[in-house]
Amino acid sequence: MRKIKEVIRLKSCGLSERQISASLSIGKGTVWDYLKRLSAAGLSWPLPDGMDEAALERLLFPSSGSFRPLNHHLPDFAVIHGELKRKGVTLAILWEEYRQLHPDGYQYSRFCEIYRQWAGKLDLVMRQEHKAGERLFVDYAGLTVDIINRDTGEALSAQIFVAVMGASNYTYAEATWTQGLPDWIGSHVRAFKYLGAVPQISVPDNLRSGVSKACRYEPDINPTYAAMAAHYGIAVIPARVRKPKDKAKVEAGVLLVERWILARLRNMSFFSLAELNEAISELLERLNAKPFRKLPGSRKSQFESIDLPAMKPLPLSDYEYAEWTKARVNIDYHVDVDGHYYSVPYQLVKRQLDIRLTVSVVEIYNRGNRVASHIRDRRLGGHTTVRDHMPKSHQAYLEWTPQRIINWAATIGPNTSALVDSIMARKTHPELGYRSCLGIIRLAKEHTNERLESACKRAMQIGGISYQSVKSILAKGLDRVAVKTNERETLPLIEHEHIRGSRYYQ
C-alpha cells in the first residue's frame, strides 16, 4: 500500500506514468492500474484523514482476501506453522485445540484456507509438474517395525523402504533389516519388479547408501548405486541437501505408509521379515486400489493409464548386487581383496585399481577397462594367479617341475639324478631345492659330465647332500679319489616314510 500512496502523490506532482514507473521500480501497467483504481474510488492527494493502509486496500481491492477477521479470533499462524513441523501434528489436531480455546472461531475448512494463504507468502516454491513415467522418489520411513526372535524373545527393528511414482502417486513399500547398501540396492530391484517397468529418474534423499558425498550441485553417487542405475538405464538425481520439498512426493508417501499401513500393523506381532512383508504387501494393494477423494480412479488405475505406458521395459535380468572398492597393486602384481590375493598384469604394479565384487566373481578395472577377472576365493592368505599376468622370467620359472629337474640331471648320469632327487626330498617343499639342483647341474659346464657324476657319487657316499659339497669336491679334485670303505660316510641312505623318493614325482 505504501507504493500506491507514492503513485498518487507523484501523480499529483505532475509526473508521467513512465516517470512514476522508473521512480518506484514498478511496471507501467501497474502504475496505470493503480491510477485507474484510485480514480474509480474518487481519491486524490492528499488522502482523507484517518485512511490507513488497511482501509485503502479494502477500498481499492474489495475482492482480495484479508486475514483480518470480522467476528472470529485470528489464530496465531506463526505458532501453528512451527507446531506442524513436529512429527504427527496435523492441521486437524491444531484446529481442535484452537476451537477449544475459541468455540466461536473459524470452521475447519476456513481455518485451513487462511493458514495456507498465510503460509504461501512465507516462501516462493516452484510447483513441480511430474511428467508421466519420469520420476521415482525413494526414501525410508521414520518409523520402524519390531520383529521378535522366537528363540530369545529379542525385538529387532526393521526399516521401511518407500518408493512413489511422481505422476500417479503409485506406491511401493517393503521392510528390510538395515538401510545399508545391500538392502538399499535390493529394495530398488524389487521396486522395479513391482512396477513392472523402469522410470527415467530415481530421486533419493542424500542417504549414505545412495550418495557417497552430499553436495548441493554435484553429489557423488555411490559406485554400486551408479552401476545399478546403469544396468536399468536410469539417472540418479538426489534431492538437494536440507530441501525436503525436492522430494515432497515421497515425503507424502512415507507419511501415507506410516498412517495407512504401519498404523494398522501396530498391534500385530511379527516373527520374521517375510511375515512382515506379506502383511505390508496386502495393505499396499488395498492402498493403491483405494479410490481418490477428489480425483477419478485410484493410484493403480492412474499408474496403469499414465505412468506405465511412458516407462521403459525391465532388462532381461535383474541387477546382480556388487560392491566396489579400491586396491593398490603390490610389487608381486597381486591385489589384496578380503585377505585373498588376485593377480593382475604385472605392468600395473603400484597402480590403484577399482575392484568389483559379486558373490562369485572378482573383477578388476583400470580406468574403466577390465584388466582381470577371477572366481572369488575366500581363503585367507591364498593366491589366485593367472600365468599371462606374470613377467616372462616368472613364467619360465613356473615351467620347472621336480620331475623335469630330475630328468635333466639323469642326462648327466644316474648319480647326479639320485643326488638331485635326495636334495628335493629333504626339503619341506620341492621348490625350495630348485636353486641347489640347478646349481649342481650347471657345474657340468665348468667341469665334465664324467667328473660331475663322480663328484655326485662321492657326495652321496659321504652324506654331502648339497650344492656346496659337490662344488667343494670338484674344486679339490676329490672326485678322482676313491672313498675308503671303512669311512662312516659309506653308510646307506636312511629310508623313512617322511622322506620322498623319485617315485613321489611320477
pTM, 2 dp? 0.50
pLDDT in tens, 322-355: 888 899 998 778 899 998 999 999 899 889 999 9
Q: What is the pLDDT of residue 217?
A: 37
Grid look-up 545412495 returns 210
What is residue 349's predicted lDDT score, i.e. its pLDDT?
87
pLDDT for 186 equals: 92
> In this predicted structure, which of 239-243, 397-401, 488-492 has the lowest mean pLDDT?
488-492
% helix, strand, coil for the chain, step of 5: 45, 15, 40
d(CA 452, CA 49): 132
Instruction: Please provide the DSSP assignment of 351-380 as one string.
Output: -EEEEEE-SSEEEEEETTEEEEEEE----T
| Per-residue confidence (pLDDT) for residue 248, from 0 to 100 | 62
- pLDDT at residue 238 in the model: 80
| Domains of the chain listed by start with CATH number | 2-60 (1.10.10), 77-120 (no CATH), 135-310 (3.30.420.10), 323-392 (no CATH), 400-505 (no CATH)
How far apart CA 346 and CA 503 sit, in angstroms, is 36
Task: Name the average pLDDT for the chain.
Answer: 80
- Report the distance separating Cα 395 and Cα 388, nearest Å: 8
Q: Are 355 and 326 in contact (CB under 8 A)?
A: yes
Which pLDDT does position 196 carry in this prediction?
A: 94
Q: Are 303 and 170 in contact (CB under 8 A)?
A: yes
For residue 288, give the nearest of 129, 199, 205, 165 by alpha carbon: 165
Q: pLDDT for 40-61, tens place per residue?
A: 777 677 767 766 666 766 666 6
CA 296 and chain centroid, separation = 38
Alpha-carbon distance 419 to 425, whole Å?
A: 10
109-131 pLDDT, tens digit per residue, is: 888 888 888 777 654 443 445 67
The sheet carrying 340-343 orders its strands as 334-337, 340-343, 383-384
Other CB atoms within 10 Å distance of the CB of residue 402 = 22
Residue 500 pLDDT > 90: no
Predicted confidence at residue 214, as pLDDT, reads 44
**Spatial contact of 380 and 340, defined as CB atoms under 8 Å apart:** yes
Kindly state the DSSP code that residue 463 receives in the 8-state scheme: T
- Confidence check: pLDDT of 471 > 50: yes
pLDDT of residue 259: 86
Count of H-run helices and E-run strands, the chain = 18, 15
pLDDT at 488 over 50: no
pLDDT (mean) for 196-208: 82
Question: What's the whole-number mean pLDDT along residues 146-173?
Answer: 90
- Specify the residue for cell string 532388462: 315
Please, are residues 294 and 282 in contact by the beta-carbon 8 Å criterion? Answer: no
Question: Pick the residue with more confidence: 227 or 176?
Answer: 176
**pLDDT value of residue 125:** 42
H helix or E strand, kind and range, residue 137: strand 135-140
- Amino acid 87: pLDDT: 56
- The pLDDT of residue 126 is 39
Distance CA 356, CA 228 (A): 12
In the predicted model, is pLDDT for residue 68 greater than 90?
A: no
Which pLDDT does position 310 carry in this prediction? 87
> What is the per-residue pLDDT across 426-465, written as a single tens digit (0 to 9) for each?
876 666 577 788 889 989 888 889 999 999 999 988 888 8
β-bridge partners, 383: 341
Instruction: Check pLDDT > 90 for residue 397.
Output: no
Q: What is the pLDDT of residue 506?
A: 58
Q: What mean pLDDT do residues 406-423 have?
A: 90
Find the mean pLDDT for residues 390-412. 77
User: In this model, does residue 247 exceed pLDDT 70?
Assistant: no
Contact call for residues 358 and 340 (beta carbons, < 8 A): no
310 Cβ contact partners less than 8 Å away, ≥ 6 residues apart: 131, 132, 133, 134
Residue 220 has pLDDT above 60, yes or no: no
Higher-scoring residue by pLDDT: 117, 287: 287
Average pLDDT of span 309-314: 91
Residue 149 backbone phi and psi in degrees, to 5: -75, 120
Is-cis flag, bond preceding 46, omega within 30?
A: yes
pLDDT over 70 percentage in the chain: 77
Residue 272 is predicted with a pLDDT of 92
User: β-strand 340-343 against 383-384: which pairing, if any?
Assistant: parallel
CA dist., res. 294 & res. 158, Å (int): 34
